[in-house]
Amino acid sequence: MNQKTFRTALLASAFVSASAIAQTPDHLVGLTRNAPALLHHDHWNCQTLNACPVGIPPTGAGPQSAGGTGWDPVRPGAWISNGLVLAKVSDNCQMLCPPMPIPGLATNAFITGIDVVESLNQLLLIDNQGFLHTFSNTCPPQPISICQTGLVPQQGASTSGLATDEGNGLIFVAYSNFNTGANNIAIIPLANQCQPICRVPVQPPCNPAFRPITGLAVDWGQQALYATDGFQTIAINYSTATPCPQFVNYNCCTPPIINLDPMIGLAVRPGGATSTGQSCANGACANCNSVLSLGNDPNLGNALFRVNLDQAPVGSLAWCIFGTAPCQQPGVSVPGLCGPVYTPQPLLGVLGPNVVGGGLPCSGSTSFGFPLPPWPSLAGWTISAQSVSLCTAAAGVGTAISNCLSFTLQGS
């Protein structure tokens, strides 16, 4: 099956397949202010998961609104800023893109929010003077454009967070008053980035009271905004039934142990895959531990999404079978294959064959990629993938099978 046919099948199957519970849940990440670290936070269980230090300076005397965090699902990692420099780190805080000054940032301006628009391969940054900066999502980021949103600082209020709903074409910008504590979110069309269409007040019933927003994130597949005041987090369900989205429900998380170093940015870190079954080989295939894994995050809009096959028999031909539901045990036995196929019927499609390259007999690797469109109707759908390889030799043929992956298409 070619790429175009496979993408067509992907979209068609979304409307006839039942959704499944996400296999590995997503969570929030955010940069901390005083001793910069990437903090991982589970909003729905209201607990900190872990944190690791990052190699950028603290915000110091910058305004309370300064700083931002945005997750890149294409080349997975967190873009972070203390307001004046920009860097990218991995989950465990290895530096992926070293700290750099931000081109086009005016004197006395600070970055207050970051997000990645994966469908455009762009990085968006908002500053406290109301300027929206667009960069390429590369290392280093290359400036594309800058525009004034009109969200200028006045009487203690300024921008303080940024999140993008690619599926519905919306940019959310937090606009908070650090004197009065009032929070609003401005809505801007993604297609017309300098023209806010409305502002919506944020009034969560939290106890203690929610303070000015210092970070904003979105899971647009679930139509849920997340915000932090540095210490608490809130989830806001929103409706796009009207031109100006309406906030319809709030959920507050006040951790039992308050982190004394506040978060100054927020992003949704997508969930991963779960694995089912063991690899196997027979006949002419070397007894390799063929491993299938996600090459990056299964985010809708990720045009470079792929699954990777590693430790496979070198020189074999490999196919990747995709199922319309999670991997299912005990699987189906197919004559000639060394083990069961866990991708359930009906199949979504098959990619390949790919020639597996490598050096040593079990060092083979290849990737199976297909673009994921930014369609909200696909969000929450859990699909499966498993690789089957064919080996040939003078003595005959053989097969090798990888583990099976279950993963959920996400909008964040």
Question: Tell me: the pLDDT tens digits for 360-408?
Answer: 899 999 999 989 999 999 999 999 999 999 999 988 999 999 999 999 9
pLDDT tens by residue, 8-32: 444 444 433 333 443 578 999 999 9
Instruction: Based on the fold, state whether residues 190 and 232 are members of the same structural domain.
Output: yes
Instruction: Based on the fold, state whether residues 228 and 280 are members of the same structural domain.
Output: no
The pLDDT of residue 260? 77
* Strand stretches in 128-156, DSSP E: 131-136, 143-148
Instruction: Based on the fold, state whether residues 213 and 247 are members of the same structural domain.
Output: yes
- Of 208, 235, 269, which marks where a domain is finished? 269
- Of 269, 299, 316, which marks where a domain is finished? 269
What is the arithmetic mean of pLDDT over 103-128?
A: 97
On the 0-12 / 13-18 / 19+ scale of CB atoms within 10 A, 194 is middle
Mean pLDDT score across all residues of the chain: 93
Q: Is the pLDDT of residue 3 over 50?
A: no
pLDDT category at 257 given cuts 50, 70, 90 is low
Read off the CATH number of the domain in which 34 is found. Answer: 2.120.10.30
Instruction: Based on the fold, state whether residues 146 and 13 are members of the same structural domain.
Output: no
The pLDDT of residue 11? 41
Residue 63: cis peptide before it, omega within 30 degrees of 0: no
Instruction: Based on the fold, state whether residues 166 and 57 are members of the same structural domain.
Output: yes
- For residues 133 and 102, what is the distance between their CA atoms, to the nearest angstrom? 10
Q: Is the pLDDT of residue 118 over 50?
A: yes
Instruction: Based on the fold, state whether residues 369 and 225 are members of the same structural domain.
Output: no
The number of beta carbons lying within 10 Å of the beta carbon of residue 346 is: 12
User: How many residues appear in the chain?
Assistant: 412
Q: Is the pLDDT of residue 128 over 80?
A: yes
- Of 269, 288, 320, which marks where a domain is finished? 269
Q: Is the pTM of this model over 0.85?
A: yes
The number of beta carbons lying within 10 Å of the beta carbon of residue 122 is: 18
What is the arithmetic mean of pLDDT over 218-223?
A: 96
Instruction: Based on the fold, state whether residues 110 and 200 are members of the same structural domain.
Output: yes
Our count of domains for the chain comes to 2
The pLDDT of residue 259? 67
Q: Is the pLDDT of residue 256 over 80?
A: no
What is the arithmetic mean of pLDDT over 123-151?
A: 98
* Strand stretches in 65-182, DSSP E: 68-72, 77-81, 85-89, 95-101, 111-117, 122-127, 131-136, 143-148, 157-165, 170-177
Instruction: Based on the fold, state whether residues 161 and 212 are members of the same structural domain.
Output: yes
- For residues 286 and 198, what is the distance between their CA atoms, to the nearest angstrom? 62
Higher pLDDT, 288 or 18: 288
Instruction: Based on the fold, state whether residues 245 and 168 are members of the same structural domain.
Output: yes
What is the arithmetic mean of pLDDT over 333-352?
A: 95
Instruction: Based on the fold, state whether residues 244 and 301 are members of the same structural domain.
Output: no
The number of beta carbons lying within 10 Å of the beta carbon of residue 96 is: 16
Instruction: Based on the fold, state whether residues 60 and 128 are members of the same structural domain.
Output: yes
Domain range enclosing 309: 3-18+272-408
Task: Name the pairing type of β-strands 85-89 and 95-101.
Answer: antiparallel
pLDDT tens by residue, 309-322: 999 999 999 999 99
- For residues 126 and 269, what is the distance between their CA atoms, to the nearest angstrom? 20
- For residues 390 and 393, what is the distance between their CA atoms, to the nearest angstrom? 10
Instruction: Based on the fold, state whether residues 61 and 194 are members of the same structural domain.
Output: yes
Q: Which amino acid is at 157?
A: A
